[in-house]
Amino acid sequence: MQLSRIADDMNGGGVLSMEISVSPVHGRFVAEVAGVDLSKPLDDDYFHHIHDAFLEHSILVFRGQALTNEQHIAFSRRFGELEIHTAKHWLLPDFPEILVLSNRGENGTRPIVNGGAYWHSDMTYMAKPPLGSVLYALEVPPEGGDTLYTDMYAAYETLDEKTKGRIENLEVIHRYGDRYQMMASDDNDRPPLTPEQLAEVPDVVHPMVRTHPETGRKALFVNEGFTVAIVELAKDEGEALLEKLFSHSVQPAHVYRHRWQAGDLVMWDNRCTMHRATEYDLRYDRAMHRTTIQGDRPA
């Protein structure tokens, strides 16, 4: 997909030439977008082009960006309102839309190490889970600390017909508190969630198979991070089925590994992908900023 255009540069009176190219990386899943400077306001043509690519590929990679917090927020805001995360100790003081994933902390935020080191989709424990997340790399280790992504359309499409039929109308419970406490148990930098914070994230029920509201494609919508039980099944039977679906979802053929460089911005569609952090040597600094775009109720 190519979009070229020559436009008058209103400021300089010269000619500004911009060309965006979208190159698929992993089959249809994941594309690298080149030729766009996200620090600049995007006009509607460019925005629509990027939005179409986002729906087509689910994950977009933009390399070599240099963004202020305001610019990161402004780009994210083109896709919708932004979430303010429940765990306030990771939010940038003057920019609560930005969640800081830094192993040294930043501006008083709590350090976080391997924060998402389990397969998940962000904040699916909300009644309206996010549409997507926009993760910007400020500082990355020379090796390790990659992020893995998997395609949940492919996970659904490659199930056998019998399993598809079995799960069609099942519902699942998503929960934040258990995962948070589990991660906190060996991380002194995580303060326990307060009763007020826990009250903000009660259990929610979502369909197991989700129809994407914009593409109409079906995706498997369960994740190891936050999906704790199947409503219609007995505990053991539900757990066995979830285990089977989790491992099916992350088979290597469906997984893309993002090797970060500082200045990378990766945005993912949270409705049809999962991701997980990987380990790295903690002598290295790793600092990322995430914004999270509000979504709608899964159907």
Binding site for Mn ion (CB under 5 A): 116, 122
Sign of the alpha-carbon dihedral angle for 201, 204, 210, 213: negative
Write down the least CB distance from residue 120 to Mn ion, Å. 6
Chain residues that interact with ligand OGA, rule: CB under 6 A: 101, 116, 122, 133, 135, 147, 275, 277, 288, 290
Whether 286 sits among the annotated catalytic residues: the reply is no
Whether 52 sits among the annotated catalytic residues: the reply is no
- The option from Mn ion, ligand OGA, none interacting with 183 (CB < 5 to 8 A, set by class) reads none
Write down the least CB distance from residue 8 to Mn ion, Å. 41
Our CB check for ligand OGA shows the closer of 146 and 171 to be 146
Residue nearest to ligand OGA (CB): 116
- The option from ligand OGA, Mn ion, none interacting with 131 (CB < 5 to 8 A, set by class) reads none
Write down the least CB distance from residue 83 to ligand OGA, Å. 11
Write down the least CB distance from residue 110 to ligand OGA, Å. 15
Whether 258 sits among the annotated catalytic residues: the reply is no
Q: Catalogue the active-site residues.
A: 120, 122, 275, 290
